[in-house]
């Protein structure tokens, strides 16, 4: 079945808000095995919304609209949809009672204005979805083999309504399901990843294979369509095993919800090790990534931000002679930062970053030059990188590479 999304609201067109609803709904449509070929964004204009809806109905089986269900005059979605579908609007007593209850809760003793009753009118014969987080009910209109689903715009209303009501409706409507698995890779660039799986991509039918780029990483999504979950999983598993054989230790996870820092923290906890971070150009971003993970307090001993040469010497005992001879951005200084961090924090493993994030180069050292050192037991590994991009991208790439180096050293 083919689905299409229409996001309603002039504020989206003007860039006043980010259209997170479309991203959420796209992902949900994919999980139900719906083919999503088109999306539209329409302002609060009756004629343009009607035209967009007519086009969507013509080429899709299911049309999902979000936004424009409020009480004001520029909230037109329900009225325009009813007109296009040839439906009469009638007052729904249950929706009116719900609006009264919600507004009394929200406004306490304030007067309820007349325009709020606009939300109690629904297309005759439609399926009504109660909004437990707002006043505008959700609506499903079925006609001539088409399903039109109207959802409120605020994400804190739209998402719960979709989870509570729309999922039940779509499960009955769509006989096939999609199952996906994500293979997450670090240490191999996106172009090389695609080259190494090009034979699989060229030969794909079901399952399908797609590569995605993320800062410092490459992800491969394998998706199968089947009548049930068990059959879909069986179709995906051989592809995943093939990828594991090709990319080996460069794969850090096959769990879509697991990030690189999650894997690192889990490994530190399993080995009962404590880590110290020592950062120059990244200014605490590495420690911040680790602190994103619940339970990291068991393993993160301390984080040093040693941006200035004086702080490198004072906080982690980098030798002044090393700084003068090799410069702050050097493998020698990175190693001393990692070793010094371990001693000062009494940690088991140290990871250090020093580099030039830009925008200005330093003498003979270019923007993007970064050294990352990891010290564990009696072993020290130091890597040199030359990153491209602006200041933030250099820093983000440095953190990802540092996490990956830490992951590999722990093995």
> Which CATH number belongs to the domain containing residue 201 in this structure?
3.30.70.2860
- Positive/negative CA dihedral, 80, 81, 84, 89: negative
Do 240 and 276 belong to one domain? Answer: no
Do 269 and 372 belong to one domain? Answer: yes
Give me the number of domains the chain comprises.
3
Domain boundary among 200, 231, 253: 253
Do 15 and 40 belong to one domain? Answer: yes
Domain boundary among 132, 157, 173: 173
Do 196 and 308 belong to one domain? Answer: no
The residue among 125, 172, 15, 140 whose CA lies nearest residue 69 is: 140
Report whether the peptide linkage leading into residue 207 is cis, meaning its omega lies within 30 degrees of zero. Answer: yes
pLDDT of residue 111: 63
The predicted model scores a pTM of 0.76
Contact assessment for residue 298 and residue 269, using Cβ atoms and an 8 Å cutoff: yes
Domain boundary among 253, 283, 317: 253
Do 405 and 267 belong to one domain? Answer: yes
pLDDT of residue 106: 62
**120 to 28, 107, 149, 244: CA distances (angstroms):** 28, 18, 17, 55
pLDDT of residue 25: 96
List the domain range (segments joined by +) for residue 207.
177-253
Distance between CA atoms of residues 16 and 210, nearest Å: 32
pLDDT of residue 68: 95
Do 196 and 155 belong to one domain? Answer: no
Contact assessment for residue 268 and residue 274, using Cβ atoms and an 8 Å cutoff: yes
Q: 374: buried, middle or exposed (CB in 10 Å: 19+, 13-18, 0-12)?
A: buried
Do 10 and 126 belong to one domain? Answer: yes
Do 284 and 393 belong to one domain? Answer: yes
Q: Which residues of the chain have pLDDT under 70?
A: 105-111
CATH number at residue 345: 3.90.950.20
Do 249 and 281 belong to one domain? Answer: no
Do 139 and 30 belong to one domain? Answer: yes
């Amino acid at each position: 079945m083919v689905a299409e999304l229409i996001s309603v609201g002039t504020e989206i067109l003007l860039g006043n808000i980010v259209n997170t609803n479309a991203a959420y709904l796209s992902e949900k449509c994919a999980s139900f095995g719906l083919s999503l070929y088109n999306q539209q964004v329409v302002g609060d204009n009756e004629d343009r919304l009607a035209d967009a809806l007519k086009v969507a109905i013509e080429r899709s089986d299911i049309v999902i609209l979000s936004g424009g269900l409020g009480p004001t005059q520029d909230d037109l979605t329900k009225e325009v949809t009813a007109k296009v579908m040839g439906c009469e609007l009638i007052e729904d007593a249950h929706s009116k009672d719900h609006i009264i209850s919600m507004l009394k809760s929200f406004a306490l003793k304030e007067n309820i204005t007349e325009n709020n009753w606009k939300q109690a009118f629904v297309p005759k014969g439609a399926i009504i979805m109660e909004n437990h987080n707002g006043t505008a009910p959700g609506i499903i209109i079925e006609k001539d083999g088409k399903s039109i689903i109207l959802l409120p715009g605020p994400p804190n209303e739209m998402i719960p309504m979709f989870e509570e009501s729309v999922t039940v409706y779509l499960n009955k409507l769509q006989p096939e399901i999609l199952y996906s698995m994500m293979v997450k890779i670090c240490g191999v660039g996106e172009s090389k990843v695609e080259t190494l799986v090009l034979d699989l991509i060229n030969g794909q039918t079901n399952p399908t294979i797609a590569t995605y780029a993320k800062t410092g990483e490459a992800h491969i999504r394998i998706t199968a369509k089947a009548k049930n979950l068990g059959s879909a999983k069986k179709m995906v598993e051989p592809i995943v095993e093939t990828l594991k054989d090709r990319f080996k230790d460069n794969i850090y996870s096959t769990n879509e919800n697991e990030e690189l820092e999650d894997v690192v923290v889990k490994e530190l906890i399993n080995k009962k090790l404590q880590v110290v971070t020592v950062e120059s150009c990244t200014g605490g971003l590495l420690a911040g990534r680790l602190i994103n993970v619940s339970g990291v307090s068991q393993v993160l001993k301390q984080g040093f931000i040693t941006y200035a040469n004086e702080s490198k010497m004072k906080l982690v005992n980098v030798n002044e002679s090393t700084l003068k001879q090799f410069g702050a951005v050097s493998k020698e200084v990175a190693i001393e930062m990692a070793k010094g961090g371990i001693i000062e924090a009494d940690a088991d493993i140290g990871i250090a970053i020093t580099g030039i994030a830009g925008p200005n180069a330093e003498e003979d050292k270019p923007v993007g030059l970064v050294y990352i050192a990891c010290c564990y037991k009696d072993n020290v590994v130091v890597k040199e990188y030359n990153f491209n991009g602006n200041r933030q991208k250099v820093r983000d790439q440095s953190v990802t590479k540092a996490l990956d180096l830490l992951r590999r050293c722990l093995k």
